[in-house]
Amino acid sequence: MRRIRKLLGPLAAATAGGGPTSCNAPSARGFLTIGGTTYIDPHGSYPLDHRLDGSATLIVNDTDHYITVVTERDCSAPPRPAARHTVVPGDAPGRDLVLAPGERAETWRGDSVRVG
């Protein structure tokens, strides 16, 4: 029993945190800033929390990889108030937001940020 706990311990700790999800993509070098949170050498997907006051969320890509703002377009459930997508001038609703290394942008839409 002790051996099973030892083997499954890191897996349980990684999934219980609610933090970024990982994928098999190599990690990026540098910093990814989403709102007020900065990730060092990011990889995988990171949550994109929208502010209650309706202001845009700043995303800064100081890594060596492209990043994509992932938007769930086909949702069967009604959107949550904090996650509703607001169309503003200059924010094309049908296009994904992709940031090259060194770019920054503000967005009112999206559910997560994917590195790579």
Mean pLDDT over 9-25 rounds to 51
Answer yes or no: pTM beyond 0.75: no
Q: Is residue 18 part of a domain?
A: no
What is the structure's pLDDT at 16? Answer: 46
What is the structure's pLDDT at 41? Answer: 93
Q: How many domains does the chain have?
A: 1
Question: How far apart are the C-alpha atoms of 82 and 52, rounded to whole Å?
Answer: 6
What is the structure's pLDDT at 58? Answer: 94
Q: Is residue 91 part of a domain?
A: yes
The two most distant CA atoms of the chain are separated, in Å, by 59
* Cα torsion angle, 104, 83, 19, 7, sign: negative
Question: How far apart are the C-alpha atoms of 58 and 43, rounded to whole Å?
Answer: 19
22 and 58 Cβ atoms separated by less than 8 Å: no
3-state class of 30 per DSSP? strand
Q: Is residue 68 part of a domain?
A: yes
pLDDT score of 67 more than 80: yes
Q: What is the average pLDDT score of the chain?
A: 73
| pLDDT > 90 fraction of the chain, expressed in percent and rounded | 40
Q: Is residue 54 part of a domain?
A: yes
Question: How far apart are the C-alpha atoms of 51 and 58, rounded to whole Å?
Answer: 11
Q: Is residue 2 part of a domain?
A: no
Q: Is residue 13 part of a domain?
A: no
Tell me the pLDDT tens digit for each residue of 18-66. Answer: 455 555 556 889 999 999 999 999 999 999 888 888 899 999 999 999 9
What is the structure's pLDDT at 76? Answer: 44
Q: Name residue 97's beta-bridge partners.
A: 69
Q: Is residue 79 part of a domain?
A: yes
Q: Which domain holds residue 85?
A: 26-115
pLDDT score of 5 more than 80: no
What burial class does residue 109 get, using C-beta atoms within 10 Å of its C-beta: 0-12 exposed, 13-18 middle, 19+ buried? buried
Q: Is residue 7 part of a domain?
A: no
